[in-house]
Copies of this chain bind each other. A is one copy, B any other.
């Protein structure tokens, strides 16, 4: 009896020791693999709690977002969805293909949550300057140079780099930098259809330094005239917004200065025939990584004086780009450059190419009521093969004689697009954004199909009545 009791107690001891051993090892493992956090713990837990709020895949809650009565963050629903968890679809809602919000890249960052997160301490970079007395993070600059060598889209070597609050700020910075000490106002031009901000920014300042003069072709004769010492600044967008075509400047001459806006010159949107190597090239995070809200862009500049003029502009306007923004941009680029750095380009190209093919199929089925731009397959230096089109926008044309305003035509089918005339083209064109969220692209496609089917039905009915 005593022996049995002793045996049972030995088992108890053994069991307990095994449990203790397991618990202690688990503690040791935790300590070793997940070091204890102190001051960052609350912020990290809060960020994860917000991220875990379910919005049915049609919305998102944010740390600085809408809150309910008890101060808790709530879902912010995508266009066309509502309800506390964004699960209710608003069937009458317009398909928004208007603005260029690059939300198609959001899933990529959800998939890379751990490497792309960054913690800002309360004391992070409080000073006006970095240790080299500049407004520019040397680490971020290095990563941008590496990025161009991976994407094989631009020659960064031998260029100065200026940062801007999005490429938007750099457009102005570049025009001001290229027109310092002009004897008479410089002429600023672009080739239609062009991004409307070139005109609105240039005109806004009402400066004595430059005037917007519309289409570049109007200046072809003047620019090659050596006697006219008037500076002409030509904006060249390549690939072009809205039509996705690769472009070169149309003007040439000793007084022509080019600003190449390469916002879309990434393997996402176009074949990269070769790395570009111009005197002034502007890029932006918005269309590369999808972080439009981060307001971060950069310019590669060949000439030292122009570079210094641009730095002066950014310094005088706002003492450089927020250090928080620069830290976040760095973390995003670090993630992007992990491994061989090709993942985001593969992801983005696949998605954009797929969307283009689907749209193309739908538009083709309209039997020429609608057309979109043609982009030929081309050899891509990045993918090292011939690849098809994957532009950021469709440049839709209403082909029927009576459809003079294409935006109104699609508006009646409950689709929002951007007027051709905004791009200094005809209203027979409308720009459709293909880079928004999947919800929005799917709805756009669905509405286009309905429009085309309805149009065919009406057409048949019309023909039937006519017979």
Neighbouring B residues of A326 by C-beta, 8 Å = 64
**In this assembly, does A90 line the interface, its C-beta being within 8 Å of a C-beta of chain B?**
no
Neighbouring B residues of A140 by C-beta, 8 Å = 64
**Complex Cα gap A105–B76 (Å):** 35
Determine whether the beta carbon of B127 is less than 8 Å from that of A39: no
Which of the candidate stretches A44-52, A424-432, A457-465 sits at the interface with the other chain? Answer: A44-52
Which of the candidate stretches A106-114, A247-255, A273-281 sits at the interface with the other chain? Answer: A106-114
A165-B165, A319-B168 known; A126+B208 contact, CB < 8 A: no
**Complex Cα gap A325–B165 (Å):** 11
**In this assembly, does A375 line the interface, its C-beta being within 8 Å of a C-beta of chain B?**
no
A63 to B, closest residue via Cβ: B327
A121-B47, A293-B128 known; A317+B172 contact, CB < 8 A: yes
The 8 Å CB contact of A48, one of B38, B109, B313, is B38
Determine whether the beta carbon of A168 is less than 8 Å from that of B317: yes
Determine whether the beta carbon of B44 is less than 8 Å from that of A119: yes
Determine whether the beta carbon of B119 is less than 8 Å from that of A117: yes
**Complex Cα gap A23–B19 (Å):** 10
Interface of A is mostly: helix
Determine whether the beta carbon of B51 is less than 8 Å from that of A44: no
Neighbouring B residues of A137 by C-beta, 8 Å = 64
Neighbouring B residues of A117 by C-beta, 8 Å = 39-40, 42-43, 119-122
**Complex Cα gap A122–B328 (Å):** 9
The 8 Å CB contact of A105, one of B102, B116, B126, B317, is B126
Neighbouring B residues of A156 by C-beta, 8 Å = none
Neighbouring B residues of A109 by C-beta, 8 Å = 121-123, 126
Neighbouring B residues of A10 by C-beta, 8 Å = 9
Which of the candidate stretches A196-204, A212-220, A357-365, A444-452 sits at the interface with the other chain? Answer: A196-204
A150 shortest CB reach to chain B, Å: 18
**In this assembly, does A466 line the interface, its C-beta being within 8 Å of a C-beta of chain B?**
no
A449 shortest CB reach to chain B, Å: 27
Determine whether the beta carbon of A126 is less than 8 Å from that of B43: no
Q: How many copies does the complex hold?
A: 2
Contact residues of A between 337 and 372, Cβ < 8 Å to B: none
**In this assembly, does A267 line the interface, its C-beta being within 8 Å of a C-beta of chain B?**
no
Chain A 308-330 against B: per-residue CB contact (8 Å), 1 yes, 0 no?
A: 00000100111111111111101
A16 to B, closest residue via Cβ: B16
A264 shortest CB reach to chain B, Å: 16
**In this assembly, does A124 line the interface, its C-beta being within 8 Å of a C-beta of chain B?**
yes
A323 to B, closest residue via Cβ: B293
**Complex Cα gap A168–B314 (Å):** 11
Determine whether the beta carbon of A63 is less than 8 Å from that of B316: no
**Complex Cα gap A328–B47 (Å):** 13
The 8 Å CB contact of A295, one of B6, B41, B116, B318, is B318
Determine whether the beta carbon of A123 is less than 8 Å from that of B102: no
**Complex Cα gap A207–B291 (Å):** 33
**Complex Cα gap A146–B292 (Å):** 29
Neighbouring B residues of A37 by C-beta, 8 Å = 34, 37, 41, 44-45, 48
A434 shortest CB reach to chain B, Å: 16
A328 shortest CB reach to chain B, Å: 5
The 8 Å CB contact of A318, one of B34, B38, B166, is B166
Identify which of A23, A169, A318 gathers the most chain B CB atoms within 10 Å of its CB: A318
**Complex Cα gap A45–B40 (Å):** 8
**In this assembly, does A335 line the interface, its C-beta being within 8 Å of a C-beta of chain B?**
yes
Contact residues of A between 16 and 64, Cβ < 8 Å to B: 16-17, 19-20, 23-24, 26-27, 34-35, 37-48, 51, 60, 62-64
**In this assembly, does A395 line the interface, its C-beta being within 8 Å of a C-beta of chain B?**
no
11 extra interface residue pairs, beta carbon distance < 8 Å, beyond A47-B119, A63-B327, A128-B286: A23-B24, A38-B113, A39-B48, A64-B330, A101-B129, A117-B120, A119-B120, A129-B293, A293-B322, A293-B323, A295-B319
Can you offer 10 A-B residue contacts whose CB atoms are under 8 A?
Answer: A34-B45, A35-B48, A44-B119, A63-B119, A63-B330, A66-B138, A120-B120, A126-B293, A129-B293, A168-B318
